[in-house]
């Protein structure tokens, strides 16, 4: 009983048997569905050698797929840095006590969260040139669109994380004379970032996948080069899409693995710090020094 929670009770013997049966039934249904899909594709000749053969050639990878992966990673990495900075700045702005800062920051965040990303990229590429009287490169159209949308979502995540930090910590910091900027920088933001790390990583994975929308402005990323261009040359759009999907999965798993590694390392560092703090406190206490 001590291991139970309010929302979930550990299953008993009957529930375990029922769960095992349901798992087996749904597993069989999924396998049957996959086999049905395979049969339908096979009937249409989608597994013939000639359609898959281009992916066994080095030129296909050298000219299309690898440059597409490089374009995807380049746009994603740049947008991740800008989106994190955007989210941090506007989350702090929304928490400002000055209404002339918090209200405009809130309007900007809510506006860019509401506009569809595809429409935003399209407008930056084809609408902004009328304002600045020069074309916007496809790379920056994708990066700016990803930054504005995902940065707005991250701003709300940061704001929720900062609000989740117990108020007693900031009150204690104010009591010893720290300014609000120092409290944000040294106390609230680091704890919020650590607490919201799963949400942040999930949004960065979404950002990486959203680079595929760059095809609308002909940005040479994985979907554009690895699917559209390859299919136009070899007439194998299904096969190209499957290969591109597998590559997206591999890249996203690598990003998630890196995030999990950083999370574990941060937790170990926090544990070491907690173990050292009591000794440091004893050393600073009257009569407790060595």
Domain ranges of the chain: 1-44, 50-273
| Predicted confidence band of residue 288 (pLDDT cuts 50, 70, 90) | very low
Q: What is the pLDDT of residues 203-245, one digit of tens each?
A: 988 999 999 999 899 999 999 999 999 998 888 899 999 999 9
H-assigned helices in 211-236 = 222-223, 230-234
pTM of the model: 0.79
What are the phi and psi torsion angles at 81 (to 5°)? -60, -50
Report which of 224, 241, 249, 287 is spatially closest to residue 41, judged by C-alpha positions.
241
Say which residues have a Cβ less than 8 Å from residue 135's Cβ, sequence separation at least 6: 129
What three-state secondary structure class fits 206?
A: helix
Residue 104: pLDDT over 80:
yes
Comparing 7-16, 40-49, 71-80, 190-199, the range with the smallest average pLDDT is: 7-16
What is the model's pLDDT at position 277? 47
pLDDT at 74 over 90: yes
Confidence of residue 280 (pLDDT cuts 50, 70, 90): very low
Superfamily of 50-273 according to CATH: MetI-like (1.10.3720.10)
pLDDT for 88 beyond 60: yes
Q: Residue range 35-57: average pLDDT?
A: 90
Q: Could you read off the pLDDT of 237-271 as tens digits, one per residue?
A: 999 999 999 999 999 888 888 877 777 776 666 54
Distances in Å between the Cα of 234 and the Cα atoms of 52, 54, 64, 95, 215 are 9, 7, 12, 54, 19
Share of the chain above pLDDT 90, in %: 48
Residue 165 DSSP symbol = S
pLDDT of residue 1: 43
**For all residues of the chain together, what is the average pLDDT?**
84
- The residues, any chain, with a CB within 8 Å of residue 150's CB and separated by 6 or more, are 79, 83, 87, 203, 204, 206, 207, 210
Q: Please identify which residue in the block is written with the tokens 């929308």.
A: 213
Instruction: Report the pLDDT value the prediction gives residue 192, as an integer from 0 to 100.
Output: 79
Query: How far apart are alpha carbons 138 and 141 in whole angstroms?
Result: 5
Average the pLDDT over 128-146 and give the result. Answer: 93
């Amino acid at each position: 009983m001590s291991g139970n929670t309010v929302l979930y009770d550990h299953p008993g013997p009957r529930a375990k048997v029922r769960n095992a049966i349901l798992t087996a039934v749904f597993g069989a249904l999924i396998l049957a569905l996959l086999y049905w899909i395979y049969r339908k594709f096979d009937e249409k000749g989608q597994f013939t050698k000639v359609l898959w053969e281009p992916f066994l050639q080095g030129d296909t990878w050298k000219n299309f797929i690898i440059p597409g992966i490089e374009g995807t990673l380049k746009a994603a990495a740049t947008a991740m840095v800008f989106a994190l900075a955007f989210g941090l700045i506007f989350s702090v702005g929304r928490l400002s006590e000055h209404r002339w800062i918090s209200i405009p920051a809130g309007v900007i965040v809510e506006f860019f969260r509401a506009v569809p990303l595809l429409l935003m990229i399209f407008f930056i590429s084809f609408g902004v040139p009328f304002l600045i009287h020069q074309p916007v490169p496809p790379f920056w159209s994708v990066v700016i669109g990803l930054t504005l949308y995902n940065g707005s979502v991250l701003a709300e995540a940061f704001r929720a994380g900062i609000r989740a930090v117990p108020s007693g910590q900031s009150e204690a910091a104010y009591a010893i004379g720290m300014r609000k900027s120092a409290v944000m920088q040294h106390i609230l933001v680091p704890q919020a970032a650590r607490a919201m790390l799963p949400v942040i990583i999930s949004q960065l994975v979404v950002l990486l996948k959203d680079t595929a929308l760059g095809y609308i402005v002909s940005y040479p990323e994985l979907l554009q080069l690895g699917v559209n261009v390859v299919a136009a040359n070899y007439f194998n759009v299904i096969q190209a899409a499957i290969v591109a999907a597998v590559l997206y999965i591999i890249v996203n798993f690598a990003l998630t693995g890196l995030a999990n590694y950083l999370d574990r390392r941060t937790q170990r560092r926090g544990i070491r710090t907690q173990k050292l703090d009591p000794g440091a406190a004893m050393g600073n206490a009257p009569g407790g020094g060595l």
